[in-house]
Amino acid sequence: MTAAAASEPAFSICVYCGSRPGEAQAFADVAAQVGHWIGRHGGQLVYGGGRAGLMGVVADATLAAGGRVVGIIPRVLVEREHAHRGCHELHVVETMHERKRQMAERADAFLALPGGIGTFEEFFETWTWRQLGYHDKPVGLLNQDGYYDAMLSFLQHSVASGFMGAAQMALIEVGTDWRALLGALVHATGFPAPDLLSQI
Ligand code: AMP
Protein backbone atom coordinates (compact mmCIF):
# COMPACT_ATOMS: atom_id res chain seq x y z
CA MET A 1 0.00 0.00 0.00
CA THR A 2 1.22 3.50 -0.72
CA ALA A 3 0.24 6.42 1.45
CA ALA A 4 -0.52 9.95 0.40
CA ALA A 5 -3.92 10.45 1.91
CA ALA A 6 -5.38 13.91 1.69
CA SER A 7 -8.31 15.02 3.83
CA GLU A 8 -11.43 12.90 4.19
CA PRO A 9 -13.11 12.54 0.78
CA ALA A 10 -16.54 14.10 0.28
CA PHE A 11 -17.89 10.85 -1.13
CA SER A 12 -16.63 7.52 -2.41
CA ILE A 13 -17.76 6.08 -5.71
CA CYS A 14 -16.87 2.77 -7.29
CA VAL A 15 -16.44 2.90 -11.05
CA TYR A 16 -16.58 -0.27 -13.12
CA CYS A 17 -15.26 0.04 -16.66
CA GLY A 18 -13.29 -1.65 -19.39
CA SER A 19 -9.74 -2.86 -19.05
CA ARG A 20 -9.60 -1.96 -22.75
CA PRO A 21 -10.09 1.55 -24.11
CA GLY A 22 -12.77 0.67 -26.67
CA GLU A 23 -12.71 1.76 -30.29
CA ALA A 24 -14.39 5.15 -30.04
CA GLN A 25 -12.55 8.08 -28.51
CA ALA A 26 -15.82 9.02 -26.78
CA PHE A 27 -15.32 6.19 -24.29
CA ALA A 28 -11.94 7.39 -23.11
CA ASP A 29 -13.20 10.97 -23.13
CA VAL A 30 -16.10 10.19 -20.83
CA ALA A 31 -13.91 8.11 -18.50
CA ALA A 32 -11.60 11.12 -18.20
CA GLN A 33 -14.52 13.47 -17.54
CA VAL A 34 -15.91 11.19 -14.84
CA GLY A 35 -12.53 10.97 -13.13
CA HIS A 36 -12.04 14.71 -13.39
CA TRP A 37 -15.48 15.37 -11.84
CA ILE A 38 -14.76 13.03 -8.94
CA GLY A 39 -11.45 14.72 -8.26
CA ARG A 40 -12.76 18.27 -8.62
CA HIS A 41 -15.53 17.55 -6.14
CA GLY A 42 -13.14 16.15 -3.55
CA GLY A 43 -14.30 12.59 -4.03
CA GLN A 44 -12.72 9.20 -3.81
CA LEU A 45 -12.58 6.73 -6.68
CA VAL A 46 -12.70 3.05 -5.81
CA TYR A 47 -11.85 0.85 -8.75
CA GLY A 48 -10.06 -2.26 -9.91
CA GLY A 49 -6.57 -0.84 -9.49
CA GLY A 50 -5.26 -1.19 -13.02
CA ARG A 51 -3.73 1.20 -15.54
CA ALA A 52 -5.12 -0.63 -18.53
CA GLY A 53 -7.88 0.75 -20.73
CA LEU A 54 -10.63 2.96 -19.36
CA MET A 55 -9.69 1.90 -15.83
CA GLY A 56 -6.38 3.70 -16.13
CA VAL A 57 -8.00 6.71 -17.75
CA VAL A 58 -10.52 7.26 -14.97
CA ALA A 59 -7.89 6.77 -12.26
CA ASP A 60 -5.38 9.13 -13.85
CA ALA A 61 -8.04 11.79 -14.36
CA THR A 62 -9.19 11.53 -10.74
CA LEU A 63 -5.62 11.84 -9.49
CA ALA A 64 -4.86 14.76 -11.80
CA ALA A 65 -7.91 16.61 -10.49
CA GLY A 66 -6.89 16.12 -6.86
CA GLY A 67 -9.13 13.20 -5.98
CA ARG A 68 -8.34 10.20 -3.85
CA VAL A 69 -7.94 6.82 -5.54
CA VAL A 70 -8.30 3.38 -4.01
CA GLY A 71 -7.34 0.48 -6.26
CA ILE A 72 -8.11 -3.14 -5.40
CA ILE A 73 -6.55 -5.75 -7.63
CA PRO A 74 -6.09 -9.52 -7.43
CA ARG A 75 -2.44 -10.62 -7.34
CA VAL A 76 -2.80 -12.60 -10.57
CA LEU A 77 -3.84 -9.43 -12.42
CA VAL A 78 -1.07 -7.14 -11.17
CA GLU A 79 0.93 -7.63 -14.36
CA ARG A 80 -1.88 -8.14 -16.84
CA GLU A 81 -3.88 -5.08 -15.81
CA HIS A 82 -0.78 -3.01 -14.97
CA ALA A 83 -1.41 -2.26 -11.30
CA HIS A 84 -1.50 1.49 -10.77
CA ARG A 85 1.28 2.43 -8.35
CA GLY A 86 0.07 6.02 -8.14
CA CYS A 87 -3.05 5.16 -6.16
CA HIS A 88 -3.34 6.55 -2.62
CA GLU A 89 -4.15 2.99 -1.63
CA LEU A 90 -3.37 -0.03 -3.78
CA HIS A 91 -4.60 -3.26 -2.25
CA VAL A 92 -3.32 -6.46 -3.78
CA VAL A 93 -5.76 -9.19 -2.78
CA GLU A 94 -5.72 -12.94 -3.27
CA THR A 95 -9.04 -13.51 -4.99
CA MET A 96 -11.57 -11.83 -7.24
CA HIS A 97 -14.17 -12.29 -4.52
CA GLU A 98 -12.02 -10.35 -2.11
CA ARG A 99 -11.59 -7.59 -4.69
CA LYS A 100 -15.30 -7.25 -5.25
CA ARG A 101 -16.08 -7.36 -1.55
CA GLN A 102 -13.61 -4.59 -0.77
CA MET A 103 -14.74 -2.48 -3.72
CA ALA A 104 -18.35 -2.77 -2.57
CA GLU A 105 -17.51 -1.96 1.04
CA ARG A 106 -15.39 1.08 0.25
CA ALA A 107 -17.95 2.79 -2.00
CA ASP A 108 -21.13 4.78 -1.32
CA ALA A 109 -22.36 4.37 -4.90
CA PHE A 110 -21.52 2.45 -8.07
CA LEU A 111 -21.22 3.56 -11.67
CA ALA A 112 -20.64 1.28 -14.65
CA LEU A 113 -19.12 2.85 -17.75
CA PRO A 114 -18.66 0.99 -21.03
CA GLY A 115 -16.64 -2.16 -20.66
CA GLY A 116 -16.51 -5.86 -21.36
CA ILE A 117 -17.38 -9.05 -19.57
CA GLY A 118 -15.70 -8.05 -16.30
CA THR A 119 -17.65 -4.78 -16.22
CA PHE A 120 -20.90 -6.59 -16.98
CA GLU A 121 -20.28 -9.06 -14.22
CA GLU A 122 -19.50 -6.38 -11.66
CA PHE A 123 -22.52 -4.30 -12.66
CA PHE A 124 -24.93 -7.21 -12.57
CA GLU A 125 -23.64 -8.53 -9.31
CA THR A 126 -23.88 -5.13 -7.64
CA TRP A 127 -27.42 -4.80 -8.95
CA THR A 128 -28.43 -8.25 -7.73
CA TRP A 129 -26.85 -7.59 -4.34
CA ARG A 130 -29.03 -4.52 -4.04
CA GLN A 131 -32.08 -6.52 -4.98
CA LEU A 132 -31.20 -9.10 -2.34
CA GLY A 133 -30.76 -6.40 0.28
CA TYR A 134 -27.02 -6.90 0.78
CA HIS A 135 -26.64 -3.16 0.30
CA ASP A 136 -28.79 -0.17 -0.52
CA LYS A 137 -26.34 1.98 -2.41
CA PRO A 138 -27.21 3.62 -5.73
CA VAL A 139 -26.14 1.77 -8.87
CA GLY A 140 -25.79 3.57 -12.20
CA LEU A 141 -25.17 2.54 -15.78
CA LEU A 142 -23.83 5.05 -18.27
CA ASN A 143 -25.17 4.30 -21.71
CA GLN A 144 -22.50 6.29 -23.50
CA ASP A 145 -23.08 6.67 -27.24
CA GLY A 146 -25.69 3.90 -27.10
CA TYR A 147 -23.13 1.33 -26.04
CA TYR A 148 -25.62 -0.43 -23.77
CA ASP A 149 -28.69 -0.06 -26.03
CA ALA A 150 -28.80 -3.74 -26.92
CA MET A 151 -28.35 -4.84 -23.32
CA LEU A 152 -31.08 -2.48 -22.13
CA SER A 153 -33.41 -3.80 -24.86
CA PHE A 154 -32.75 -7.29 -23.67
CA LEU A 155 -33.53 -6.30 -20.08
CA GLN A 156 -36.86 -4.86 -21.25
CA HIS A 157 -37.45 -8.11 -23.11
CA SER A 158 -36.85 -9.93 -19.85
CA VAL A 159 -39.43 -7.72 -18.09
CA ALA A 160 -41.92 -8.29 -20.92
CA SER A 161 -41.26 -12.01 -20.71
CA GLY A 162 -42.06 -12.10 -17.03
CA PHE A 163 -38.60 -12.89 -15.70
CA MET A 164 -37.99 -9.48 -14.20
CA GLY A 165 -40.21 -6.88 -12.61
CA ALA A 166 -40.33 -3.14 -12.98
CA ALA A 167 -39.24 -2.90 -9.35
CA GLN A 168 -35.95 -4.55 -10.23
CA MET A 169 -35.37 -2.14 -13.09
CA ALA A 170 -36.06 0.69 -10.65
CA LEU A 171 -33.03 -0.35 -8.61
CA ILE A 172 -30.66 1.02 -11.24
CA GLU A 173 -30.19 4.48 -12.68
CA VAL A 174 -29.54 4.46 -16.40
CA GLY A 175 -28.36 7.61 -18.11
CA THR A 176 -26.81 8.95 -21.28
CA ASP A 177 -25.54 12.18 -19.71
CA TRP A 178 -22.53 11.35 -17.54
CA ARG A 179 -22.68 14.55 -15.52
CA ALA A 180 -26.35 14.23 -14.62
CA LEU A 181 -25.99 10.53 -13.81
CA LEU A 182 -22.86 10.95 -11.70
CA GLY A 183 -24.34 13.95 -9.91
CA ALA A 184 -27.54 12.04 -9.12
CA LEU A 185 -25.65 9.01 -7.80
CA VAL A 186 -23.38 11.09 -5.61
CA HIS A 187 -26.28 13.26 -4.43
CA ALA A 188 -28.11 10.09 -3.39
CA THR A 189 -25.22 9.28 -1.04
CA GLY A 190 -25.92 12.46 0.89
CA PHE A 191 -23.26 14.65 -0.69
CA PRO A 192 -24.92 17.94 -1.55
CA ALA A 193 -23.33 18.06 -5.01
CA PRO A 194 -23.98 21.81 -5.32
CA ASP A 195 -22.34 21.84 -8.72
CA LEU A 196 -24.62 19.19 -10.08
CA LEU A 197 -25.16 21.15 -13.23
CA SER A 198 -21.84 22.92 -13.31
CA GLN A 199 -19.52 22.53 -16.22
CA ILE A 200 -16.78 21.00 -14.08
P1 AMP B 1 -13.48 -5.86 -18.72
O2 AMP B 1 -14.76 -5.09 -18.65
O3 AMP B 1 -13.69 -7.29 -19.14
O4 AMP B 1 -12.42 -5.19 -19.51
O5 AMP B 1 -12.96 -5.97 -17.23
C6 AMP B 1 -13.01 -4.87 -16.40
C7 AMP B 1 -12.50 -5.24 -15.05
O8 AMP B 1 -13.37 -6.25 -14.51
C9 AMP B 1 -11.10 -5.83 -15.02
O10 AMP B 1 -10.41 -5.25 -13.93
C11 AMP B 1 -11.33 -7.28 -14.74
O12 AMP B 1 -10.28 -7.87 -14.00
C13 AMP B 1 -12.56 -7.23 -13.90
N14 AMP B 1 -13.24 -8.51 -13.82
C15 AMP B 1 -13.21 -9.55 -14.65
N16 AMP B 1 -13.95 -10.56 -14.21
C17 AMP B 1 -14.46 -10.14 -13.04
C18 AMP B 1 -15.28 -10.71 -12.06
N19 AMP B 1 -15.77 -11.95 -12.18
N20 AMP B 1 -15.58 -9.96 -10.99
C21 AMP B 1 -15.10 -8.73 -10.85
N22 AMP B 1 -14.32 -8.15 -11.73
C23 AMP B 1 -14.00 -8.84 -12.81
Tell me if 195 is assigned to some domain: no
Question: Of the candidates 25, 10, 50, 49, which has an alpha carbon nearest to the alpha carbon of residue 182?
Answer: 10
Tell me if 194 is assigned to some domain: no
Give the closest residue (by CA) to ligand 1 atom 23. Answer: 118
Q: Residue 111 gets which letter from DSSP?
A: E
**Termini Cα distance of the chain:** 30
Q: Enumerate residues 6+ apart whose C-beta is below 8 A from 182.
A: 13, 34, 37, 38, 111, 140
Tell me if 57 is assigned to some domain: yes
Tell me if 200 is assigned to some domain: no
Q: What is the pLDDT of residue 42?
A: 93
Tell me if 112 is assigned to some domain: yes
CA 173 → CA 2, 80, 130, 182, distances in Å? 34, 31, 13, 10
Tell me if 178 is assigned to some domain: yes
Tell me if 198 is assigned to some domain: no
Q: What is the pLDDT of residue 59?
A: 98
- The tens-digit pLDDT sequence of the chain (200 residues) is 433 445 789 899 999 999 999 999 999 999 999 999 999 999 999 999 999 999 999 999 999 999 999 999 999 999 999 999 999 999 999 999 999 999 999 999 999 999 999 999 999 999 999 999 999 999 999 999 999 999 999 999 999 999 999 999 999 999 999 999 999 999 998 887 655 555 55
Q: What is the pLDDT of residue 196?
A: 55
Residues with CB under 6 A from ligand 1: 18-20, 48, 50, 55, 77, 81, 96, 100, 115-119, 121-122
pTM (predicted TM-score): 0.93
Q: What is the pLDDT of residue 165?
A: 95
Q: What is the pLDDT of residue 198?
A: 56
* Separation of alpha carbons 149 and 137, rounded Å: 24
Give the closest residue (by CA) to ligand 1 atom 17. Answer: 118
Q: Enumerate residues 6+ apart whose C-beta is below 8 A from 24.
A: 145
Question: Of the candidates 49, 50, 54, which has an alpha carbon nearest to the alpha carbon of residue 20?
Answer: 54
* Residue range(s) defining the domain that contains residue 140: 12-188
Tell me if 84 is assigned to some domain: yes
Q: How far is the CA of 118 from the centre of ligand 1 (A)?
A: 3
Q: How far is the CA of 96 from the centre of ligand 1 (A)?
A: 9
Q: What is the pLDDT of residue 175?
A: 98
Q: What is the pLDDT of residue 3?
A: 38
Strand locations in 80-144 (E): 89-93, 109-112, 139-142
Q: Residue 70 gets which letter from DSSP?
A: E
Q: What is the CATH number of the domain that holds 167?
A: 3.40.50.450
Number of domains in the chain: 1
